[in-house]
């Protein structure tokens, strides 16, 4: 009853305008135009932005939740969610590492995450001295020197409206599918990156370095624009296990590569997967789409998906510019009761476009995994090629691994090759490793790492080392 | 269409002596069909071929009433020469002749099942249409340990005397323990713009062997849907070969349930299309128990603005350890208007399995053409030679040498 009273009080407050004390603000439960106006207002957004959100909401109202996916989930009551809540104040956060779950600390140790970072991940107030001289601050200066814009998207809406207005929604329009449209209507924050013409971004950009935006909430929106001849590598997420009180995560990520530009987007996702019996866990329903708008542009997606109760996403490339290239490298690991339905879409529109898909799926325990992908070569995409390889590894006979590729070729001058295999870890390989002194768990870790090598190689250095360890950790308890 | 369906259904019933219960079931099927209509592309299985639209564009209004009292003259000129065979002749949807002249009469039983309604594990509305309108249905039972000496050819003939725009056929086969049957479906259509809806059910007992060859070679304007349901017991083998070429639209669906250990299924197909033809093969192989095997090979050569689709699915149950499943589809697109769509699917719940699929589509290899032309062949000859070799690969998979030669001659493939 207490909560309810609080909600009512909150509602009363909003009636006459908006409080300036961001710390304690929470939008009333439910989804309606007022809530959207509230979010837009609190972010001090210009009118066009509110219009964008409302347009998306109009569309959302007529859309139905999709049901064609393999992993089924209990119906979500969209009116029972909070669509805006300000970052937690320092009071509610743990004061020191000692207050944390020892299991979590153990995992950190295995991954080799430094103490400072462990603290930051859990929102423990970091020593101010440390913060001001932190790597992140130094990096930020260097980026500004080169003219690179890297800031929260809410800041970009204020400071660079011309860029945001031009590109936001150009790849994922407000009229897109259910979850993407929901995000367009209620997104709270996310990253904005703009790389100017001819600039090669000197470092890997990571959400981790983006100060002041630690809590982006469940509806994250990312927009990355690489201008002519530029290059950027962007890292999302981290290998450390992440907990979040919001169950539904519906983020949108839009990439735009202009002439001769290249974007490399790497994700390591390790959200809370629920307990051993499949209770709880995050629903990760993300829309990621890249547009190779200019000639000779390139977009490359790399993902390591080990967390979440349900992962449902298809990072896609629209190859519009002639000679553009799209790549997708993926490792998806499901254990216990996790479910994943992931893959990619490669839509070839321009001439001489090329795409490559390498997907590795590993399922263990009672989990279920699906690769679902589309390769569509239109009649104008002359001389295009696609190569797809999706391999699945099964551990135990309670899990499932499925492959559902859609292959459409409308052009006689283009070539598509697709192959897929499903198998288990061979007894011989296991025997060999164990003979050399590895225990069964280590042996499986080693073999799985070999199975995933093609994808792990694509990750930036600092990620790759951690990701390798993560692969092993995710499969703990699945053998023997 | 609804009015027409109801009227034709009432007319059809008049010719049949059905019990009240059967009439009820038929009515139920009709209502189901009226409710669902023809499958359209909103249904996952019909994503690549919107039958509703295809019928609308090619035939327009359908009619469903067939006068079964009217006999057709059997035209012997369509019979295959040079191969002794047993015959079943369908003319305009009516069974005109069943002839097992080369076989021991007591080893084959022909059972009239017109008054029983078949249950198909197929959710699509075409089985309802078939259930509502089939008039005559036979079950062919091959008795224990009997291997048919000669192949059986089923002639599907339509001509200008056809009554309705829609023909529904149904045949059931039961192959008892250790028996074997070679079956060829030969399509011969001279009628214009009809919709053929054919359902076969095969029941293979222990160690039985079925070889089914579907040959749709002769140019025609018809629209065909053919559904094979094959249930297989221990050690049984089924082999299906599909030559998909002549009709305006054709969809072959193969559902194979490998229920017994060491049973195996082979599905091979050739699409050879031109003009505006649109053909599809959909296969579902269910590996339901351990040590089963399936193999599928589909090759397509597509010219002009033709379109081919292949949807193949390998399902492996959690009990089906040691499954071996393989699937390959390859397509050559000869014209920039042609189109190939594929959806090779794997759904696997057991870990000790070997399953793989591959799919490739593209143009003729320019290097190979160059090589042949440098050896003195002209462009046309080189092209033909390459296509010949490409398709020969599938035809060679036919395990029966007599029928292999027959089919080779029919498509004009040289060795």
CA distance A372 to chain B (A): 9
Which residue in B181, B157, B222, B343 sits closest to A372, CA to CA? Answer: B343
Q: What is the per-residue pLDDT for A97?
A: 63
Q: Percentage of residues in chain B with pLDDT exceeding 90?
A: 59
> Whole-angstrom Cα distance, residue B282 to residue B325?
16
Neighboring chain A residues of B44 at a CB cutoff of 8 Å: 68
**Interface membership of A99 toward B (CB under 8 Å):** no
Q: Which pTM does this prediction carry?
A: 0.86
Neighboring chain A residues of B342 at a CB cutoff of 8 Å: 405-407, 418
CA distance B288 to chain A (A): 14
Are A205 and A224 a contacting pair, CB within 8 Å? no
Question: What is the average per-residue pLDDT within A27-37?
Answer: 84
Are B244 and B269 a contacting pair, CB within 8 Å? yes
CB contact under 8 A, A422 and B362: no
pLDDT surpassing 70 at residue A397: yes
CB–CB contacts below 8 A, A to B:
114
> Whole-angstrom Cα distance, residue B157 to residue B168?
13
Question: What is the average per-residue pLDDT within B106-124?
Answer: 74
Q: What is the pLDDT confidence band of residue A14, given thresholds at 50, 70 and 90?
A: very low
Q: What is the per-residue pLDDT for A244?
A: 60
Neighboring chain B residues of A409 at a CB cutoff of 8 Å: 331, 333, 339-341, 361-362
Angle, CA of B73, B77 and B82, to the nearest 5°? 135
The DSSP call for residue B18 is -
**Interface membership of A409 toward B (CB under 8 Å):** yes
CB contact under 8 A, A415 and B333: no
Neighboring chain A residues of B343 at a CB cutoff of 8 Å: 404-407
CB contact under 8 A, A418 and B360: yes
**Interface membership of B41 toward A (CB under 8 Å):** no
CA distance A344 to chain B (A): 15
Q: What is the per-residue pLDDT for A128?
A: 37
Which site among A409, A427, A428 would you substitute to test the B interface, given the most B Cβ atoms closer than 10 Å to its Cβ?
Answer: A409
Q: For A94-98, A226-230, B127-131, B210-214, which range has the lowest pLDDT when averaged over its residues?
A: A94-98
Q: Is A462 helix (H, G, I), strand (E, B) or coil?
A: helix
Give the number of residues written for chain B. 415
Q: For A145-159, A378-392, B386-400, which range has the lowest pLDDT when averaged over its residues?
A: A145-159
Q: Which residue of A has its CA nearest to B340?
A: A409
Q: What is the pLDDT confidence band of residue A73, given thresholds at 50, 70 and 90?
A: confident
**Better-predicted residue by pLDDT, A478 or A344:** A344
pLDDT surpassing 60 at residue A217: no
pLDDT surpassing 90 at residue A319: yes
Q: What is the pLDDT confidence band of residue A23, given thresholds at 50, 70 and 90?
A: very low
CB contact under 8 A, A421 and B363: no
CB contact under 8 A, A420 and B356: yes
Q: What is the per-residue pLDDT for A22?
A: 39
Query: What average pLDDT does the structure give for chain B?
Result: 89
Q: Which residue of A has its CA nearest to B307?
A: A410
Are A367 and A339 a contacting pair, CB within 8 Å? yes
Which site among B300, B346, B354 would you substitute to test the A interface, given the most A Cβ atoms closer than 10 Å to its Cβ?
Answer: B346
CB contact under 8 A, A409 and B361: yes
Q: What is the pLDDT confidence band of residue A76, given thresholds at 50, 70 and 90?
A: confident
> Whole-angstrom Cα distance, residue A126 to residue A306?
28
CB contact under 8 A, B343 and A405: yes
Q: For A366-370, A454-458, B306-310, which range has the lowest pLDDT when averaged over its residues?
A: A454-458
- Rounded to the nearest 5 percent, the helix, strand and coil shares of chain A are 30, 30, 40
**Better-predicted residue by pLDDT, A28 or B332:** B332
Q: What is the pLDDT confidence band of residue A260, given thresholds at 50, 70 and 90?
A: very high
CB contact under 8 A, A397 and B318: yes
pLDDT surpassing 90 at residue A190: no
pLDDT surpassing 50 at residue A161: yes
Are A152 and A213 a contacting pair, CB within 8 Å? yes
**Interface membership of B119 toward A (CB under 8 Å):** no
**Better-predicted residue by pLDDT, A86 or A213:** A86
How many Cα atoms are found within 13 Å in the side-chain-facing hemisphere of B138?
16
How far, in whole angstroms, is CA B181 from its chain's centroid? Answer: 16
What is the ipTM, given to two decimal places? 0.87
- Token duo for residue B267: 């599905």
Q: What is the per-residue pLDDT for B19?
A: 77
Q: What is the per-residue pLDDT for A136?
A: 55
DSSP structure string for B367-406: HHHHHHHHTT--HHHHHHHHHHHHHHHHHTT-S-HHHHHH
Query: What average pLDDT does the structure give for chain A?
Result: 82
**Interface membership of B321 toward A (CB under 8 Å):** yes
Neighboring chain B residues of A414 at a CB cutoff of 8 Å: 362-363
Q: What is the pLDDT of residues B139-184, one digit of tens each?
A: 999 999 999 999 999 999 888 887 788 888 889 999 999 999 999 9
How many Cα atoms are found within 13 Å in the side-chain-facing hemisphere of A182?
22
**Interface membership of B320 toward A (CB under 8 Å):** no
CA distance A49 to chain B (A): 35
Neighboring chain B residues of A423 at a CB cutoff of 8 Å: 353-355
Tell me which residues of chain B, numbers 350 to 379, contact chain A at a CB-CB cutoff of 8 Å: 350-363
Q: What is the per-residue pLDDT for B340?
A: 94
Question: What is the average per-residue pLDDT within B382-394?
Answer: 93
Q: What is the pLDDT of residues A433-480, one digit of tens each?
A: 999 999 888 888 889 989 998 898 888 877 787 788 888 777 776 664
- What long-range pairs does A110-116 form, CB within 8 A, spacing at least 24? A110/A469, A110/A473, A111/A239, A111/A240, A111/A466, A111/A469, A111/A470, A111/A473, A112/A465, A112/A466, A112/A469, A113/A239, A113/A240, A113/A466
pLDDT surpassing 50 at residue A12: no
Q: Which residue of B has its CA nearest to A396?
A: B351
CB contact under 8 A, B360 and A422: no
CB contact under 8 A, A404 and B348: no
CB contact under 8 A, B363 and A404: no
Q: What is the per-residue pLDDT for A210?
A: 42
CA distance A265 to chain B (A): 28
**Interface membership of B241 toward A (CB under 8 Å):** no
Q: For A389-393, B39-43, B66-70, B353-357, which range has the lowest pLDDT when averaged over its residues?
A: B66-70
Q: Which residue of A has its CA nearest to B339?
A: A410
pLDDT surpassing 50 at residue A160: yes
CA distance A232 to chain B (A): 33
Q: Is A328 helix (H, G, I), strand (E, B) or coil?
A: strand
Residues in contact with A188: Cβ distance below 8 Å, sequence separation at least 6, in sequence order = A39, A43, A83, A84, A154, A216, A217, A219, A220
Q: What is the pLDDT of residues A237-246, one digit of tens each?
A: 766 666 665 6
**Better-predicted residue by pLDDT, B224 or B24:** B224
Q: What is the per-residue pLDDT for B21?
A: 78
Which residue in A102, A252, A272 sits closest to A170, CA to CA? Answer: A252
Q: For A9-23, A88-102, B207-221, which range has the lowest pLDDT when averaged over its residues?
A: A9-23
Beta bridge partners of B97: B89
Q: What is the per-residue pLDDT for B162?
A: 78
Question: What is the average per-residue pLDDT within B80-105?
Answer: 89
Q: What is the pLDDT of residues B226-282, one digit of tens each?
A: 999 999 999 999 999 999 998 999 999 999 999 999 999 999 999 999 989 999 999
């Amino acid at each position: 009853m207490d909560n309810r009273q609080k909600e009512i009080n909150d509602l009363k407050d909003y009636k006459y305008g908006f409080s300036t004390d961001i710390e304690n603000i929470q939008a009333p439960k439910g989804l309606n135009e007022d809530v959207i106006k509230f979010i837009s207002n609190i972010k001090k957004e210009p009118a066009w932005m509110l219009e964008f959100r409302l347009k998306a909401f109009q569309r959302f109202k007529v859309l139905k939740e999709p049901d064609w996916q393999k992993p089924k989930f209990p119906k979500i009551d969209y009116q029972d969610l909070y669509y805006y809540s300000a970052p937690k104040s320092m009071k509610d956060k743990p004061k020191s590492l000692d207050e944390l779950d020892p299991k979590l600390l153990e995992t950190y140790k295995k991954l080799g995450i430094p103490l400072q970072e462990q603290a930051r991940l859990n929102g423990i107030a970091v020593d101010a001295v440390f913060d001001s001289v932190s790597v992140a601050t130094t990096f930020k200066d260097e980026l500004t020197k080169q003219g690179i814009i890297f800031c929260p998207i809410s800041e970009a809406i204020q400071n660079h409206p011309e860029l945001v207005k031009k590109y936001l929604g150009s790849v994922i329009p407000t009229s897109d599918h259910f979850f993407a449209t929901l995000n367009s209507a209620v997104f709270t924050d996310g990253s904005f990156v703009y790389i100017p013409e001819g600039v090669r971004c000197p470092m890997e950009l990571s959400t981790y370095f983006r100060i002041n935006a630690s809590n982006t909430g469940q509806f994250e929106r990312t927009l990355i624009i690489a201008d002519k001849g530029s290059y950027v590598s962007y890292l999302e997420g981290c290998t450390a296990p992440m907990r979040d009180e919001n169950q539904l995560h519906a983020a949108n990520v839009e990439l735009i590569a202009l002439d001769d530009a290249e974007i490399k987007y790497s994700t390591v996702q390790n959200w809370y997967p629920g307990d051993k019996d499949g209770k709880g866990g995050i629903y990760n329903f993300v829309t990621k789409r890249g547009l190779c708008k200019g000639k000779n542009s390139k977009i490359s997606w790399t993902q390591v998906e080990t967390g979440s109760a349900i992962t449902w996403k298809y990072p896609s490339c629209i190859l519009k510019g002639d000679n553009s290239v799209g790549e997708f490298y993926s490792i998806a690991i499901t254990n216990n009761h996790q479910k994943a339905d992931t893959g990619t879409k490669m839509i070839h529109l321009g001439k001489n476009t090329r795409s490559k898909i390498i997907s590795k799926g590993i399922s263990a325990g009672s989990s279920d995994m699906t690769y679902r992908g589309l390769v569509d070569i239109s009649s104008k995409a002359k001389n295009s090629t696609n190569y797809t390889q999706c391999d699945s590894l099964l551990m135990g006979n309670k899990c499932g691994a499925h492959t559902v590729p859609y292959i459409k070729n409308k052009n006689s001058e283009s070539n598509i090759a697709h192959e897929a295999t499903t198998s288990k870890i061979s007894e011989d390989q296991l025997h060999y490793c164990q003979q050399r002194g590895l225990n069964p768990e280590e042996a499986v870790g080693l073999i799985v790492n070999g199975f995933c090598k093609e994808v792990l190689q694509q990750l930036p250095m600092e990620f790759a080392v951690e990701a390798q360890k993560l692969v092993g950790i995710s499969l703990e308890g699945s053998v023997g | 269409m609804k009015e027409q369906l109801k009227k034709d259904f009432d007319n059809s019933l008049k010719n049949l002596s059905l019990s009240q219960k059967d009439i009820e079931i038929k009515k139920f099927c009709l209502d189901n069909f009226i409710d669902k209509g023809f499958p359209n592309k909103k249904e996952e299985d019909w994503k690549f071929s919107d039958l509703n639209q295809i019928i609308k564009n090619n035939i327009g209004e359908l009619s469903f009433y067939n006068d079964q009292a009217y006999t057709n003259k059997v035209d012997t000129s369509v019979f295959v020469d040079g191969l002794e065979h047993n015959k079943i002749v369908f003319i305009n949807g009516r069974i005109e002749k069943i002839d097992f002249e080369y076989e021991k009469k007591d080893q084959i039983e022909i059972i009239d099942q017109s008054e029983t309604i078949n249950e198909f594990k197929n959710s699509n509305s075409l089985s309802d249409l078939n259930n509502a309108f089939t008039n005559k249905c036979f079950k062919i039972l091959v008795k224990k340990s009997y291997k048919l000496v000669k192949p059986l050819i089923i002639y599907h003939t339509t001509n200008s005397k056809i009554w309705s725009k829609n023909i529904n056929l149904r045949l059931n086969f039961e192959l008892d323990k250790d028996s074997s049957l070679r079956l060829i479906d030969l399509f011969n259509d001279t009628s214009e713009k009809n919709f053929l809806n054919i359902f076969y059910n095969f029941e293979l007992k222990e160690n039985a062997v079925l070889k089914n060859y579907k040959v749709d070679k002769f140019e025609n304007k018809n629209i065909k849907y053919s559904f094979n349901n094959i249930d297989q017991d221990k050690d049984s083998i089924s082999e299906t070969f599909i030559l998909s070429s002549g009709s305006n639209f054709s969809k072959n669906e193969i559902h194979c349930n490998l229920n017994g250990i060491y049973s195996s299924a082979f599905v091979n197909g050739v699409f050879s299309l031109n003009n505006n033809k649109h053909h599809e093969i959909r296969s579902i192989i269910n590996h339901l128990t351990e040590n089963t095997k399936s193999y599928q090979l589909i090759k397509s050569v597509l010219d002009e603005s033709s379109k081919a689709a292949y949807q193949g699915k390998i399902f492996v149950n959690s009990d089906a350890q040691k499954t071996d499943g393989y699937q390959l589809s390859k397509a050559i697109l000869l014209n920039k208007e042609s189109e190939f769509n594929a959806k090779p699917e794997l759904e696997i719940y057991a870990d000790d399995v070997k399953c793989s699929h591959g799919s490739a589509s593209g143009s003729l290899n320019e290097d190979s053409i160059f090589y042949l032309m440098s050896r003195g062949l002209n462009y046309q000859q080189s092209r033909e030679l390459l296509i010949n070799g490409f398709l020969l690969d599938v035809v060679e998979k036919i395990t029966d040498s007599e029928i292999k030669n027959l089919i080779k001659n029919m498509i004009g493939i040289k060795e």
